[in-house]
Amino acid sequence: MKRYLYHAGQVARTDTDVIIVGSGIAGLYTALCLPQSIRCTILNKAGIENSSSMYAQGGIAAVLDINKIMDDTRQHLEDTLVAGAGLCDEKAVSVLVQEGQANIEQLISLGVPFDRRQDGDLLMTREGGHGKNRILHCGGDATGLGITNQLYAVALERENITILDQCFLVDILTGENGAAGVLVLDEKNKPQYFSASKVIIATGGTGNIYRNSTNPACSTGDGIAAAKRAGAELKDMEFVQFHPTALIYPNENGRFFLISEALRGEGAILRNRRGEAFMQDIHPLKDLAPRDIVARAIVREMKKCDIPCVYLDITARPRSFLEKRFPTIYTECMRRGIDIARHWIPVFPVQHYFMGGIKTDLNACTNIPGLYACGESACTGVHGANRLASNSLLECLVFGRRCAAHIAETLDRKPEIVRFETTSGVNPGDMDFDSIRSELRTMMTQKCGILRNQADMSDAEQWVSSSLAQFGEVDLTGKKQVETLNLLQVSSEVLKASMARKKSVGAHYRTDEET
Which residue numbers are catalytic? 291
Q: What is the DSSP letter of 214?
A: S
H helices present in 99-175, as ranges:
100-109, 143-157
Distance CA 430, CA 280 (A): 54
Q: How far apart are the first and last CA of the chain?
A: 37
H helices present in 414-476, as ranges:
433-447, 454-471
Pairing assessment for the beta strands 240-250 and 256-258 based on DSSP bridges: antiparallel
Distance CA 100, CA 395 (A): 9
Instruction: Using alpha carbons, select from 331, 381, 383 the residue that is nearest to residue 353.
Output: 383
142 Cβ contact list (under 8 Å, min separation 6): 57, 327, 328
DSSP, collapsed to helix, strand or coil, labels residue 358 as strand
Distance CA 379, CA 373 (A): 8
Pairing assessment for the beta strands 161-164 and 191-195 based on DSSP bridges: unpaired
The one-letter amino acid code at 485 reads L
Instruction: Spell 408-422 as b/e; 16+ CB within 10 A means b.
Output: eeebeeebbebebeb
Q: HSE of 81 in the Cβ direction (CA atoms, 13 Å)?
A: 14
246 and 256 Cβ atoms separated by less than 8 Å: yes
32 and 10 Cβ atoms separated by less than 8 Å: no
Task: Output the CA angle 47-389-512, nearest 5 degrees.
Answer: 105
98 and 72 Cβ atoms separated by less than 8 Å: no
Instruction: Spell 452-472 as b/e; 16+ CB within 10 A means b.
Output: beeebbeebbebbeebeeebe
Q: What is the DSSP letter of 80?
A: H
Residues in the chain: 515
Task: Output the CA angle 364-255-49, nearest 5 degrees.
Answer: 60
